[in-house]
Amino acid sequence: MMNTEGITSSNSTENAILAAAEREFLTKGFAGARTTSIAEAAGVTHAMFHYYFRTKAKLFDRIIEEKISLLKEALFNPVENENASIEETIQTIIERHLDFIAANPDLPRFITSEVYSNTERSDVFLSQITKYAPIMLNNLQSKIDRAAEAGHCRHVDARMLILDITSLNIFSFIAAPILNAAISGLTADFEKFIAMRKKENFDTIMRKLKP
Amino acid sequence: MMNTEGITSSNSTENAILAAAEREFLTKGFAGARTTSIAEAAGVTHAMFHYYFRTKAKLFDRIIEEKISLLKEALFNPVENENASIEETIQTIIERHLDFIAANPDLPRFITSEVYSNTERSDVFLSQITKYAPIMLNNLQSKIDRAAEAGHCRHVDARMLILDITSLNIFSFIAAPILNAAISGLTADFEKFIAMRKKENFDTIMRKLKP
DNA sequence: ATTATCTATAGATCTATAGATAATGC
DNA sequence: ATTATCTATAGATCTATAGATAATGC
């Protein structure tokens, strides 16, 4: 099981600051976050913030690195089972991805907006993507090609398939407040909503793959 | 033809500030935007910023209102053609939506992150969504129900269909820098990318609707 | 007369540090 | 001795305003 509870350390003050900072940064972004608010939320004096982490940027970098490794683990470790059918593979990808986002609902918005508004800080993230995504996409493409030749599915582009899956899985979380305004109470029962989208998105993708 | 060129006014200094502010707010958000940067980008002294718009929040509100009316026009004015087939209706919705986003590529990220990080300023936007979305969804649902009864498509939930369409259309724009890192040069030829996603998303949705 | 612009600066807000003091672990 | 904490304040950054001056349109 992966760590979805955030960052931990041995020191309780340090811990409290880290937890408060994660919340502040994830919900407000780097520019909107305030070190005074973080210290206050952590229940420590503001000087403690600087004592443990020196600067706002350093603490932000530490948290974004933690999130990057979390993402890497969730996205690029699909425990490739050579024997799994294309249908099983797709289902596993969708379910894991959606479970991961459900456990980290603020992460997509945080990553997309920080990567966009910032260049230096997000280079680490983008270089990780550049490194790992092509491998994952090639593996999936081979699997699709083999299944297509055996007549089990259509010959689709793995890159478009992953773009479809991530779009369908992630967008609801990024736009949650707007969806709730458009469709009253849609995400009110969160568990139910996730379960529904899992089925729905799997169905959508499988129809696309069907010969 | 709708106005996708931003806000205009009769005064050139006011215009320059508005244009610069739109760029600054759309790319950096309210918290990240600097009134000094806006004035500099507009080529006027900082005092002019306050002379024309008094405060940062007032100018932000003006720009977000402009964007809301733009969205309303694009999303809730699908020129309901009673005689159009379900296929034609879906195609029109997807193409218009995608064209609108392509003309305003920063808008989805801006709206989703500002709506989330802010309560007061985005209430106007959410109340507009609450007002117009159900009407649009009901109209579409009736159309789907009629088509389904005639055997032209499956009996799907209009709300899920619109969620799928918006997810597939919007996500690429929100995650563009990440997609380009994962799939080198994917959005390099922007026109081509839009045309491809138009076809792809229409195909995905129609397969879902097929009996 | 009114509108537009400038320089200079006040005021507010945040980040970061200095320096003293208390707690902790050899 | 080292680590952790506090108070007080410096320093940096941004927003906003005051007050003078130039341009514009009756």
pLDDT tens-place values along chain B, 211 residues long: 333 334 455 678 999 999 999 999 999 999 999 999 999 999 999 999 999 999 999 999 999 989 988 988 887 776 567 788 999 999 999 999 999 999 999 999 999 999 887 667 778 889 989 999 999 999 999 999 999 999 999 999 999 999 999 999 999 999 999 999 999 989 888 899 999 999 999 999 999 999 8
Nearest to B71 by CA among B24, B116, B23, B136: B136
Contact B127 A181 (CB under 8 A): yes
Residue numbers of B between 21 and 50 with CB closer than 8 Å to A: 27-29, 31-32
Contact B204 A200 (CB under 8 A): no
The residues close to strand D, meaning Cβ under 7 A, are A 11-13, 44-48, 51; B 33-36, 46-47, 50, 54-57
* Helix, strand, coil tally for chain B in percent (to 5): 75, 0, 25
What pLDDT score was predicted for residue B4? Answer: 35
Cβ contacts of B116 on chain A, cutoff 8 Å: 27, 109, 177
Q: Is A170 on the interface with B (CB under 8 A)?
A: yes
Distance from CA of B11 to the nearest CA of A (A): 30
Mind listing the pLDDT tens digit for each residue in B16-49?
Answer: 999 999 999 999 999 999 999 999 999 999 999 9
How far is it, in rounded angstroms, from Cα A17 to Cα A25? 12
Q: Supply the angle between the helices B190-209 and A190-209 in degrees, to the nearest 10.
A: 100
Contact B113 A111 (CB under 8 A): no
Q: Is A160 on the interface with B (CB under 8 A)?
A: yes
Query: Considering the entire predicted model, what is its pTM?
Result: 0.91
Contact B112 A109 (CB under 8 A): yes
DSSP B105: T
Cβ contacts of B164 on chain A, cutoff 8 Å: 168, 200, 204
**Strand, helix or coil at B143?**
helix
Task: State the nucleotide closest to B44 in CA–C1' terms.
Answer: C5
> Which of A168, A182, A186 is closest, CB to CB, to B164?
A168
Nearest to B34 by CA among B68, B6, B16, B59: B59
The residues close to strand C, meaning Cβ under 7 A, are A 33-36, 46-47, 50, 54-57; B 11-13, 44-48, 51
Cβ contacts of B68 on chain A, cutoff 8 Å: none
Q: Report residues of chain A scoring pLDDT below 70.
A: 1-10, 78-80, 118-119
Distance from CA of B170 to the nearest CA of A (A): 8
Nearest to A120 by CA among A28, A32, A58, A66: A58
Mind listing the pLDDT tens digit for each residue in A129-165?
Answer: 999 999 999 999 999 999 999 999 999 999 999 999 9
